[in-house]
Structure 1
Amino acid sequence: MSLTPQTDSSGRQGGRQVGDGGRGRRRRRVVRWTASVLTLALAGTATAGYLYYEHLNRNIRKESLNIGDSKDRATAAKANAAGQTPLNILLIGSDARDTAENQKLGGAKSTYNTAPRADVQMLLHVSADRTNMSVVSMPRDTLVSIPRCTDPDTGKVYAATTSTMTNDSLGRGGPGCTVATWEKLTGIHIDHFMMVDFSGVVSMADAIGGVPVCVDANIYSHTSTGHGSGLKLTKGTTSVKGKQALQWLRTRYGFEDGSDIARTKAQHMYMNSMVRQLRANATLAKPDKLLRLAETATEALTVDTGLGSVTELYDLSRELKKVPTNRITMTTMPWVYSSDGNRVLPRPTDAAKLWRLVREDIALDGKDKKKKTTTTATKVTDKAAADDEIAVRVRNGTKSGTEAAVTGRAAAITTLLTGKGFTKATADTSAPLSADQTVVRYPGAGLAGDAQRVAKALGIPMSQVKKSADVSAVTLVVGADWRSGSKYTADDDDTTPASASALNASDTKACMHVDPDYTW
């Protein structure tokens, strides 16, 4: 069964809408599935299966998918030749101290009942043909622009911010703001989200029965001032569950350099090991384990409305199961330290390249032999005007997190365009933008042909010609990938940047390095 996002009558994306007959057929299928999986626990009766299905549905907490401005939504990926579309799911780990159990597990009494933070953020991308899966983590300390978000429950509006830690997005109206933040940064359309808190991690780890993890020395994550997760393990491989699994996922003090980047690496190892465990143990031959997993998962998760039923979650699990373990790749967003050294920023060029690979459904393990299918030009009905009649505004977008903008870059490219016959090209003297990639933007269909003509004249790929409500004329933004020279060279290399630290899910030898200061 394909999990293709649909749009409801209000234009919002969510679960598939079907007629009464479709719902009836779906429910009968779910009842039969539930009864078959839970035979021992439910005496094999269809009625009991149906009642338990309804019980599981009531367990699931639901929130809005995206609470940013609708005009800022990233464009959904187009279907491939076979009619298949990729699937993008944002996995969020919340540090909320909103219950007694979460307060006990999270500690830090000063943060009790304060706004939650999205301390774990992973974008899970399933390829359109379901042959591979890519996961990209964003460190929680990444400074990003968070868009305007509106709390769906209270109506409170949170103004857009810049240079804000990405984990703050969750406290600005809910997970839908974290989704909006990712879409704004990456240009990747997100179909669903799944969020879990401290207690959810503990209960899920217990239900799975333990996840093997490895350290290359004894570790005790604890400092004299009380910092650290409390994780205490002996050298080698240990199966962690419950509170110990949460400690592993939260450990920073004791792993490698003590940074959030090291913690992200440990989370990838845990996730890969968990995938291997689930695939080895959660079979129809073990209905009692599936029963416990179903109960625990539905209680632990908060999801968007499009995943708000057992049916949708089961359909999703079927899609994920199609991907072989050795085609699952874990990566971290390429990053650089901010100017003060306390936070990180997306690494110029490398981060943009990683987002492009995901947008274009190109596997991050390097085994994808398919040709790109999403970089073709948008079909336009109007013809471009003569070159000397096309008004082009040129903006300097060469500023990055590590480099200042190239002075006079907009003027230099304006001169280049003028020399090519675009005599109405003008340089915009506004403050430089920060753009990883050079793009040509246009406000509406009537100028699409003109925008494509400008791109063609400069050798800019048609995939970098984009409609935008933020411009009023054809606008060329000269990005950080064109800081010098008069010839634009497109990055058509589909190799995953080494700075993304790719880790394959079938790697059973991965082991976290322990900081010698935290051994015992």
Structure 2
Amino acid sequence: MTRSGVQEEPGPGLPDGGPQAPDGTDGPPEGRRRPSAGRGRRALRWSATTLAVLILGTAGAGYLYYEHLNGNLEKGERSSGDSKAHRTEPNAAGQTPLNILLIGSDSRASAKNVALGGGRDTRGNPPLGDVQMLIHLAADRESAAVVSIPRDTRVDIPACTDPKTGDGYPATNDIINTSLARGGPGCTLATWENLTGVYIDHWMTIDFAGVVSMADAIGGVEVCVNQNVWDRPLPGVPGGSGLKMKAGSEKVEGERALQWLRTRHAWGSDLLRARAQHMYMNSMIRTLRDQNVFTDTGRLMDLAEAATSSLTVSEEIGTVKKLYDLGMQLKTVPPDRITMTTLPTVEDPQNSNHLLAAGTDAERVWTMLRDDVAFDDKGGKSGKDGKDTASGKDEKDKASAAPDAEIGVLVRNATRSATLGPVGGRAKAVAQSLVTRGFTRAAPDTSPALAEERTVVRYPAADSQGDARRVAESLGIPASSVRQSADVSGVTVVIGADWREGTAYPEQAPPAAGDLPDDADALNGAETGTCMDVYKPYRW
């Protein structure tokens, strides 16, 4: 049955299922295998793009019935997982980037969520983070980037503890949307930090009903299709969002906007669904900028009420005033300096319905975020002083090191990647090289090969920082790859997939502004007139 035009269908996502329909069903596009029908229910599929409304549209609401709005906000622990990322040091101008993780929860903890998305028989199940986007605001506040990770991307999820229940979850390797159920948003944040090496300042989550509330408050966003579209059940392919519109542009709001954000079958893949969500987000940002909401008290109050009632945020931004300050920073970025992207991925060789980060291309995206390089070609590195912004230190500021012969070094082989197996003997070769360089206490780790995309040097405490930097310098490893970690007991060189041969770390050419991989599917925030192509079976 339907509710206000939204299809209420049974099909849940599958822990090992393919890129799923926004409604949870699994009808494949061409060339994709359709999983079996009996793998559990996960019907609630939607998009977190409307979170941008809070950030970019409701900044002035902080001073309207302040305490009431503060009471609307739910808060949680920033990180509940074992994370190895560290806060970026300020550049010469005292500026630091700002990273915010937006998470869309498929929680069915309320009757409204169940009514909107179905799945009554799975109402008590732990929520899944089916939409995840990282917003990166450059240190100079002149540009912003957004990176989405498809929900069926398999990643390493660290050990996490649920701050509400105290339940602990061991580290695992699974699709990224399951991280939310293993310790809440703080576990998803830790998963992203370990995957990217990027310190994430805050998270925000919104549920299905919240998306509808925010879409209503906006008052309509223009979207566009190149052909008539009807995302409906077809023979052998159940489900569908119910979206039906004619070719051209149309303003959608409320549950009709939700249909757009949930549609997957009609676009043909989960990756193309992300593109449709990015189009919606860009259009929404432009809409809010064009509206005179800050002089319309009634509209502003409605928008602020919807935003604060819909969101759960990390505790350090858990007041309207702090969200106001955050919004004012993000509002300074013009649409033509906002770039929406999707993480480059490849098919998972273990399961054709899952994805993996695409090695070199994915690492280039993460490097640009870590080094604060603009995603467009209108700007360069935000740290204009030319120093290593990840370390934020001059050579004279480095901690002192012991003599080379007195520094104990453990070398680990982590050359296994998402697409390539480990290179045998790497730890032994690099350890021997260190011995010949004067680090006579260097030794290889004999444990099985790990997987790290990027080579790092880890150290356990501040008093060994100088030793770690000295080891990195001798091997040619950049200072930005020297990090403190509770996982090691001494200076440890972790040889990543980016260093598969040789005994000197290969010089890495820094990415230039706008040097994104082609498969990042970049979309500029100022682009207008872009429309979605409709997969042929869903045209009418």
State TM-score, norm by structure 1.
0.84
Aligned to 2:478: 461
Matched, 1:501 2:521: yes
Query: What's the secondary structure of 1:341's corresponding residue?
Result: strand
Aligned to 2:347: 337
Matched, 1:112 2:123: yes
Matched, 1:383 2:383: no
Aligned to 1:64: 77
Aligned to 2:172: 162
Residue 227 (structure 2) aligned to one of 205, 209, 217: 217
Higher mean C-alpha displacement, 336-345 vs 308-317? 308-317
Matched, 1:357 2:368: yes
Query: What's the secondary structure of 1:343's corresponding residue?
Result: strand
Shift of the 490–245 alpha-carbon distance from structure 1 to 2, 3 Å rule, reads farther
Instruction: Report the alpha carbon displacement of residue 322 of structure 1 after superposing the two structures with TM.
Output: 0.8
Letter in 2 for 1:85: T
Query: What's the secondary structure of 1:264's corresponding residue?
Result: helix
Instruction: Report the alpha carbon displacement of residue 287 of structure 1 after superposing the two structures with TM.
Output: 2.8
Aligned to 1:321: 331
How many Å separate the matches in 2 of 1:120 and 1:272? 16
Matched, 1:366 2:377: yes
Instruction: Report the alpha carbon displacement of residue 398 of structure 1 after superposing the two structures with TM.
Output: 0.9
**Percent of aligned pairs sharing the same letter:** 52
Shift of the 510–479 alpha-carbon distance from structure 1 to 2, 3 Å rule, reads same
Instruction: Report the alpha carbon displacement of residue 210 of structure 1 after superposing the two structures with TM.
Output: 0.9
Query: What's the secondary structure of 2:294's corresponding residue?
Result: coil
How many Å separate the matches in 1 of 2:243 and 2:390? 47
How many Å separate the matches in 2 of 1:485 and 1:328? 39
Once the two structures are superposed, what CA deviation does each residue of 1:164-199 show, in whole Å capped at 9, x if it has no partner? 121112223322222222222222222222211111
Shift of the 381–73 alpha-carbon distance from structure 1 to 2, 3 Å rule, reads closer
Aligned to 1:191: 201
How many Å separate the matches in 2 of 1:106 and 1:163? 28
Matched, 1:451 2:463: no
Q: Is the 8 A contact 1:135 1:329 kept in 2?
A: yes
Higher mean C-alpha displacement, 277-286 vs 394-403? 277-286
Instruction: Report the alpha carbon displacement of residue 250 of structure 1 after superposing the two structures with TM.
Output: 1.5
Q: Is the 8 A contact 1:337 1:343 kept in 2?
A: yes
How many Å separate the matches in 2 of 1:206 and 1:381? 55
Aligned to 2:68: 55
State TM-score, norm by structure 2.
0.81
Letter in 2 for 1:482: W
Aligned to 2:532: 512
How many Å separate the matches in 2 of 1:121 and 1:406? 32
Q: Is the 8 A contact 1:143 1:345 kept in 2?
A: yes
Shift of the 149–429 alpha-carbon distance from structure 1 to 2, 3 Å rule, reads closer
Letter in 1 for 2:195: L
Instruction: Report the alpha carbon displacement of residue 117 of structure 1 after superposing the two structures with TM.
Output: 0.9
Residue 437 (structure 1) aligned to one of 410, 433, 454: 454
Aligned to 2:22: none
Higher mean C-alpha displacement, 74-83 vs 431-440? 74-83
Aligned to 1:280: 290
Q: Could you say which structure has the greater relative contact order, defined with CA pairs below 8 angstroms and 6 or more residues apart?
A: 2
Once the two structures are superposed, what CA deviation does each residue of 1:341-398 show, in whole Å capped at 9, x if it has no partner? 1111222232233222212222211332333541447644433413x44433222111
How many Å separate the matches in 1 of 2:491 and 2:309? 50
Letter in 1 for 2:499: W
Q: Is the 8 A contact 1:325 1:506 kept in 2?
A: yes
Q: Is the 8 A contact 1:222 1:228 kept in 2?
A: yes
Query: What's the secondary structure of 1:238's corresponding residue?
Result: strand
How many Å separate the matches in 1 of 2:295 and 2:64? 22
Letter in 2 for 1:484: E
The gaps in structure 2 that reach 5 residues or longer are 1-57
Query: What's the secondary structure of 1:511's corresponding residue?
Result: coil
Q: Is the 8 A contact 2:457 2:468 kept in 1?
A: yes
Shift of the 456–50 alpha-carbon distance from structure 1 to 2, 3 Å rule, reads closer
Letter in 1 for 2:430: I
Q: Is the 8 A contact 1:366 1:496 kept in 2?
A: no
Query: What's the secondary structure of 1:342's corresponding residue?
Result: strand
How many Å separate the matches in 2 of 1:348 and 1:461? 20
Once the two structures are superposed, what CA deviation does each residue of 1:303-335 show, in whole Å capped at 9, x if it has no partner? 122232222222222111111111111111222
Aligned to 2:114: 103
Shift of the 215–152 alpha-carbon distance from structure 1 to 2, 3 Å rule, reads same
Aligned to 2:306: 296
How many Å separate the matches in 1 of 2:356 and 2:367? 17
Shift of the 367–427 alpha-carbon distance from structure 1 to 2, 3 Å rule, reads same
Query: What's the secondary structure of 2:295's corresponding residue?
Result: coil
Q: Is the 8 A contact 2:103 2:206 kept in 1?
A: yes
Q: Is the 8 A contact 1:282 1:289 kept in 2?
A: no
How many Å separate the matches in 2 of 1:230 and 1:377? 51
Higher mean C-alpha displacement, 348-357 vs 124-133? 348-357
